[in-house]
Structure 1
Amino acid sequence: MIGLVDCNNFYVSCERVFQPRLNGRAVGVLSNNDGCVIARSAEIKQLGVEMGTPAFQLQHLIRRGQIHLLSSNYELYGDMSSRVQAILEEFSAGVEPYSIDEMFVRFDGFAPGPLLEHARALHHQVRQFTGIPVCVGVAPTRTLAKLANRAAKKIPGYQGVCVLHPGSPETCGLLQRTALGDIWGVGRRLVEKLALRDVRTAWDLAQQDHKTIKRRFSTTLERTVLELQGSAAIDMNDSDAPRQRIMTSRSFGKLTGDLAEIGEAIRQHAQRSAEKLRQQDSLTRAVYVFLKTNPHRPDLRQYSPSVVIELERPTDDSREILHAASRALQAIYQPRYRFMKAGVMLIDLIDANRQQLSLLDSAQSEAERERSARLMAAMDELNQKMGRGTVTLGRPSPGAAWHLRCANRTPRWTTRWSELANVKAR
């Protein structure tokens, strides 16, 4: 069985952990340089504030005290994500991060009754130990786990935990009530095409012959059909939809504590992630880097750090992404440990064609973006024609300025000694 754990309103929830006064209030988190809203509480959604709304359009609500807007605090969010993941690893056979606030977990060998109780215990302990509310969906496949997670979030009767078993009346009923557009990886165009075949719900799609679907549509949709039928067929990166995050990671051939070797792996993963980013025509706002020791070697010191580096502006330029990844590695590397795995995740992705430019951008900035686009296109073309890795980048130049305008950023409570919360005795 596979579970999907989704942190509810993650960025806002992270802020509320350390500022209880924000509970029940309309809260939004802004993008880099306080540009637009990228995360919303349930209360601010009820006021009609849409995702991507520019901050300047909300000033009247701020003045009236109806909403609270905070600057993005990626360092805090990345650390809280790591804390949630650490708890999940105690409760499962393995964790696969899907985004900074969503993680697939493996529940192997559980009977139905104990599995439900185990999932409820996980749900409770994440909230108790981190303060982050989550929803848990468990099913035989990732697509059904996504569906179960959605039910756990939308249907109050589940109380945040839904476990689906193939062929059960509960699963069949949920499939019948789920529209095609609510299935993981089924986009608007597919919904329109399937409607012509009178396939309108998840249940209708699950009844299709997967071979016929493959022949008339695609291998990707065939996998979705198999997943809805209860047969695992999709890995994390199989979805055709633009990914919410892009991660590249790999275990080392042997344990190593050598900074140069680890740096080579990080650079390789960062470059590959940047290539995937450009392939789906997206930009990233932040770079998440993690290291991991071998948990099955109790004779060795254990240390699995991670850090998020926010970028000055959304980008798909490998040079800027590598620079951020290098800075992240320097921040978390400790020479006393031997690592078995490293990875780079690009998070908070946006459509490259909908980038919101700053009013302060000059003609020189526009020229720089054009040169960057041409350079990246040339690299990708050469690597495609001549083979991956034909053209690569070495170490990025040090000394770049990374100062952002974060007028409303809260303290980095969990990662900076100088920003620890002060507790005053009464």
Structure 2
Amino acid sequence: MFALVDCNNFYASCERVFNPNLNGKPVAILSNNDGCIIARSDECKALNIPMGAPIFKWDTFCKAHNVHVLSSNYPLYGDMSSRVMSILKQFTPDVEVYSIDESFLQFKGFENFNLNDYGQQIRQRVLKWTGIPTCVGIATTKGLSKVANKIARKYPNQTKGVYVIDTEYKRLKALKWLKIEDVWGIGRQLSKRLLTKGCKTALDFANLPEDWVKANFSVVEARLHRDLNGVPTLTLEEYNQPKKAIATTRSFDYTYSDINYIKERVATFAVTCAEKLRKQHSSCHTIIVFLKSDKHKKEQPQYSKSVAVHLPYATNSSLIISNTAVNTAVQIFKKGIQYKKAGVMVTGLVPTDNYQLNIFENENPKHQPLMQTIDKINSKYHSNKIKLANQDLQRTWKMRQERLSPRYTTNFKDIIVVK
């Protein structure tokens, strides 16, 4: 059996844990640089505020309806997520962290357990230890556990936050209830395509002939089709599986045309990519750098450019990656353009301890012990204490966060004091 544990309105719930005055009130969380709404409480959804709504268009509406609008507090959300996932691992060793607020659990050898009661234990412990409300969906496959979770979330009074699909009757009833566009893994375009074939519900999709699905859809949809029919096909994935490409991209708090600002940002993005490479014990062969203007400001000149640089040898050195990225940014920089976004991506990844050496060019042997020392110090003090000279020594991520709540669990200065 599989379970999907999903935190309810996770970002808003994290804020409510430390600010109970927000309970029962509409809460909206903004994206980077306070651009648009990326998370909403149920009370906020009831006001028909759409996901992705630009705050400058909805600010007056939010004030009129007493909506509490907050900047994204990612250090807080990440720490609370880690606490929730740690609790889930107490119930089974087989856990796949699917996203910041969702995890799949697999129950092997739980045949004699009452899984509904077990799901309630999970909810109660997470709520008691972190203050985060959750819903639990349990079924014979991952795909069906997603469906069960939606039912638990939709009908909290009847299910008490836990729903188990353990019979054929429950499976058919659940799939008949779920619209095709709400099925996990069915995107907007695919749902339109299925609607033309008469598939209005998840049950319609599950009833399609397996051979026809294999012939007309990708292997992902074919596996989902088998999962929805109760045949376990989708397995738990390794959370710490090495990535095939790593990217660090950010929108700026404002638009900038200063090359020195652009160089500092690109250097910081490159160093972050290098740190991620070393964390998963990988090195890269290719570095991609891009710059973009603000597409929303139509009256200004528009510009977008990306360049890929192939290195003569694989590396994860912050010095080499940063230097290459900055030089590339200077090459593609164009005067007179107001830049809003930049990014660095590293690809062509290979294991650091097993890759082809170059007979003519290789990395300076002093770089690896230097990088290990920097990573050790930064890890020990949980902050980027050591940076390259071309980085901003005061701030790593320069974002507009005018409505930011305190970092209650990750900053000593913001810890709540009980009087």
Shared fold (TM-score greater than 0.5)? Answer: yes
1 CA distance for matches of 2:299 and 2:129? Answer: 44
Deviation at 1:383, TM superposition (A): 4.5
- Counterpart code for 1:272: A
2 CA distance for matches of 1:158 and 1:109? Answer: 24
Deviation at 1:212, TM superposition (A): 2.8
Is 1:323 paired with 2:314? Answer: no
Match of 2:118 in 1: 118
Deviation at 1:329, TM superposition (A): 10
Deviation at 1:196, TM superposition (A): 4.2
2 CA distance for matches of 1:112 and 1:321? Answer: 51
Give per-residue Cα distances to partners, 1:7-66, cap 9 Å, x unaligned. Answer: 111111000000000111111111111111111111112222111222222332454461
Shift of the 202–90 alpha-carbon distance from structure 1 to 2, 3 Å rule, reads: same
Is 1:417 paired with 2:412? Answer: yes
2 CA distance for matches of 1:141 and 1:116? Answer: 16
Q: Is the 8 A contact 1:134 1:160 kept in 2?
A: yes
Match of 1:375 in 2: 308
- Count of aligned pairs: 335
1 CA distance for matches of 2:132 and 2:162? Answer: 15
Deviation at 1:85, TM superposition (A): 0.3
Give per-residue Cα distances to partners, 1:81-108, cap 9 Å, x unaligned. Answer: 0000010000112221111111111221
Greater shift in the superposed pair: 187-196 or 28-37? 187-196
Is 1:249 paired with 2:249? Answer: no
Q: How does 1:171-250 map to 2 (within 5 A)?
A: 171-235=171-235, 249-250=240-241
Greater shift in the superposed pair: 373-382 or 79-88? 373-382
Structure 2, unmatched stretches of 5+, are 255-264, 283-289, 312-343, 350-354, 372-386
2 CA distance for matches of 1:11 and 1:355? Answer: 30
Shift of the 98–158 alpha-carbon distance from structure 1 to 2, 3 Å rule, reads: same
Shift of the 113–42 alpha-carbon distance from structure 1 to 2, 3 Å rule, reads: same
Shift of the 72–376 alpha-carbon distance from structure 1 to 2, 3 Å rule, reads: farther
- Counterpart code for 1:412: R
Q: How does 1:118-157 map to 2 (within 5 A)?
A: 118-156=118-156, 157=158
1 CA distance for matches of 2:413 and 2:112? Answer: 47
Deviation at 1:325, TM superposition (A): 5.6
2 CA distance for matches of 1:273 and 1:32? Answer: 19
2 CA distance for matches of 1:160 and 1:405? Answer: 37
RMSD value over aligned CA atoms?
Answer: 4.1
Shift of the 17–284 alpha-carbon distance from structure 1 to 2, 3 Å rule, reads: farther
Identity of aligned residues (%): 36
Match of 1:272 in 2: 245
Match of 2:54 in 1: 54
SS of residue in 1 equivalent to 2:6:
strand
SS of residue in 2 equivalent to 1:374:
strand
Is 1:3 paired with 2:3? Answer: yes
1 CA distance for matches of 2:268 and 2:185? Answer: 30
Deviation at 1:236, TM superposition (A): 6.2
Q: Is the 8 A contact 2:135 2:152 kept in 1?
A: yes
2 CA distance for matches of 1:219 and 1:328? Answer: 30
Give per-residue Cα distances to partners, 1:218-254, cap 9 Å, x unaligned. Answer: 32221111101122222467xxxxxxxxx9724xxxx
Deviation at 1:67, TM superposition (A): 1.1
Shift of the 196–39 alpha-carbon distance from structure 1 to 2, 3 Å rule, reads: closer
Match of 1:254 in 2: none
Q: Is the 8 A contact 2:95 2:236 kept in 1?
A: no
Q: Is the 8 A contact 1:3 1:106 kept in 2?
A: yes
Deviation at 1:215, TM superposition (A): 1.6
Deviation at 1:73, TM superposition (A): 0.5
Shift of the 359–416 alpha-carbon distance from structure 1 to 2, 3 Å rule, reads: farther
Shift of the 205–271 alpha-carbon distance from structure 1 to 2, 3 Å rule, reads: closer
2 CA distance for matches of 1:203 and 1:358? Answer: 41
Deviation at 1:322, TM superposition (A): 5.0
Match of 2:13 in 1: 13
1 CA distance for matches of 2:227 and 2:171? Answer: 13
Deviation at 1:149, TM superposition (A): 0.8
Deviation at 1:125, TM superposition (A): 0.9
